Structure 1
Amino acid sequence: MLKIHEIREIIKLIDQSSINEFELEMNGTKVTLKKSVEAETVVIPQPVVQAAPAAVPAAQVTAVEAPAAPAPAEAAKPAAPAQEEANLHKIVSPMVGTFYRAPEPGKPPYVQPGDKVTPDKVVCIVEAMKLFNEITAEVTGEIVKVLVEDGQLVEFGQPLFLVKPE
C-alpha cells in the first residue's frame, strides 16, 4: 500500500512534468491523477525517473528544461508546413494507450493517406488496459498523413492523423 508521502511525491513529479494523466494500480490500491489542461501542451519524451531527490535546486530544473525550446532560427524554418497543417483537422487520441492501424495483425490498415473518411469511419484502435477502443474520423474529408507508427504508445490528446476537411 502506498504511503501518503509517496503519493505526495508522485503528485509533485506529475505536476512538474508534461503528463496530463497518471494511473497506478499496485497491490489492490489504485491511484488516478489528472491535470486540468488550460492550453495545448507539447509532449517531450524524457527518461523515466525511478526516485527523485527530496529537493531539486531550481538551477537543475532550468538546465533540464532549457534545451527543449527550439532556437529562433529553427522555429522559422517549418513555418510553411505549420501553415498547411493549420488548415487540417487533427484526429487525436482520447486516451493513453497503444495505437493500432489495423483491426488485427496481418489485416490491412483501417485507412491510408488519400482515403476518404466520414465522421463515423473507424480510422484506428487505441488499446488501453486490454480494451480495444475504436477511434473514428470525426469529420468528412481525406486522410493526409498518419502521424504515429503501428504499435506506438500514444498520450491523451496526441495527434494521430491529419485530415483535409471537405
Structure 2
Amino acid sequence: MPNTFSQIYIQVVFAVKYRKAFIHQSWEDDLYKYIKGIIQNKGQKLIAINGMPDHIHIFIGMKPTCNLSDLVREIKKASNSFINEQKLTASNFHWQEGFGAFSYSQSHIDHVVKYINNQKQHHRKQTFKEEYLDFLQKFAIEYDEKYLFEWIDI
C-alpha cells in the first residue's frame, strides 16, 4: 500500500479450554514455532511468544491491512489442528473462545517482550485470572464477567 506507514504493536492473550489439555513444556517450543509460521505467512511480525500450561501471550507487529480477529482465529484454528494431529495431548485440544488484545507504543516494546519472556517467573506470584483482570483494568476495558474465560487455577 503506497504512502501508508504504521507501527501497530498488539499483545494477544488467549486460553486453553479444557483442564486435561494443558500446553506441556515438552512441546511448547514446537507450538510457538508453528504459531510463528502462521503469523509470518500472514505477513505479520512475531516479536515475542510465551505462555503457561493454560494460556499464551503473543506480541505482534501488525500491518494496517491485517484484521486482528481473522489473524487470531487462524492462529487458534491452525494451532489447534497442529496439536491434535500431532497427538500432543491425551484428550482433544481446544482453545477457549475469545481473546484479549492490548496495544502498545514503540517505547513499550522492550518492556512487553521482557514481560512475555518471563511468564514462568511472573506466574509464581499471580494467577492467569489475576493477570488478565489486571490487563482489563490497566487498559480501561469494560467487560461483563459472564463473557470472561472459564478460569483454570493450576
TM-score by length of 2: 0.28
More strand by share: 1
More helix by share: 2
Which has the higher Rg, Structure 1 or Structure 2?
1
Q: Which has the higher contact order (CA 8 A, sep 6+)?
A: 2
TM-score by length of 1: 0.26
